[in-house]
Amino acid sequence: METTDVNELLRLSYLHFGNVTNLRAPWGVGVFEVVADNQNINVTQFRLSQVITQARQLRLKSWSVTVVVVSDDPVFLDTFAKWSLKGRLLVWTTKLLVLTRLPLHRLDDIRHTLSMTNSLLLQLSNTPTIKMNVFLDHPYFPPGTPPVTMASWSSNKGLSKKTCIPYYPDKFYKFVHRPRLIVSRLVIATEKTETVDDPDHPGEKKTIAYNAENALIEAIAKSMNFTIKFIRPEDGEWGYLTSDGLWTGMIGMVYREVGKVSLV
């Protein structure tokens, strides 16, 4: 990114967060740079993992953190998305701003990460005057769903809000797209179960277990606006960590994101 672009981003951040002199604690900026090695992707990943480790140490020592990532490299952004979660840089209390010139169709992987974290996408337009759109992705958005345009900004007109949604909403309070979440669980032989037509997915069946756990997850699903599909782990295990570092059973399904919820 050019220096002028970064300056405009800082100006937008100022407009968004308000007068920083009103903060109750000292504030500062930490800058980390990852130099991409086009000849060896493993070297780039190693450098990125080191930077994320250092940034996480800064996060742990700070009371409020906003991570700003500036890149036009889709491979770098995808790698950052994976390592930032693996390295525990991104937690819900950490806000993330991703600034890029890339079009939306080249940002599918990073958009998934943005949808599951407390994040915004800032997209610069290649025009004579500096323009920027601010996008928000909700969790579990269907393929092809465009992000929500939160605001637009230009060097001439400043910031223009496009929706009443807060910049950083509680996206997990109630899902917008009513996703179908896989729930991994074991059915005990003594449990009473019944297979019925699934009213949320015509032509499909669903298994109902008449117990407190099933009633609880059904109540949560209704409150948070999602549907459920129960899947039994292939190995029939609750789950444990093997010697090669892999999780089995229900825990393994959630760890590998095959299942989103596990009922124990």
Q: How far is CA 175 from the centre of its chain?
A: 14
Q: Is the confidence at residue 209, as pLDDT, over 90?
A: no
Taking the model in full, what pTM does it have?
0.75
Q: How far is CA 170 from the centre of its chain?
A: 12
Please give the Cα distance from 115 to 23 (Å, whole number).
Answer: 28
Task: Please tell me the predicted confidence (pLDDT) of residue 224.
Answer: 94
Query: Mean pLDDT over residues 24-37, rounded?
Result: 68
- Return the domain boundaries, the chain: 3-161, 180-263
Q: Which residues of 238-252 are buried (b: 16+ CB within 10 A; e: fewer)?
A: bbeeeeeeebbbbbb
Distance, CA of 264 to CA of 261 (rounded, Å): 10
Q: Which pLDDT belongs to residue 2?
A: 39
Distant-in-sequence, close-in-space partners of 196: CB < 8 Å, separation ≥ 6: 205, 206, 208
Residue 120's nearest CA partner among 66, 160, 83, 201 is 66
Question: Using CA atoms in the order 149, 154, 159, 163, what is the torsion angle rounded to 10 degrees?
Answer: -20
What pLDDT, on the 0 to 100 scale, is given for residue 136?
96
Burial of 211 (0-12, 13-18, 19+ CB in 10 A): middle
- CA–CA distance, 133 with 153 (Å, rounded to integer): 6
Strand, coil or helix: 98: strand
| pLDDT exceeds cutoff 80 at 4 | no
pLDDT at site 239: 86
Q: How many residues does the chain have?
A: 264
Q: Quick check: 141 pLDDT over 60?
A: yes
The CATH number, out of the four listed (3.50.50.60, 3.40.50.300, 3.30.450.40, 3.40.190.10), of the domain defined by the range 180-263: 3.40.190.10
Fold classified for 3-161: Rossmann fold (3.40.50)
- Quick check: 213 pLDDT over 90? no
Q: Are strands 158-161 and 148-154 parallel, antiparallel or unpaired?
A: antiparallel
Q: Who has greater pLDDT, 124 or 43?
A: 124
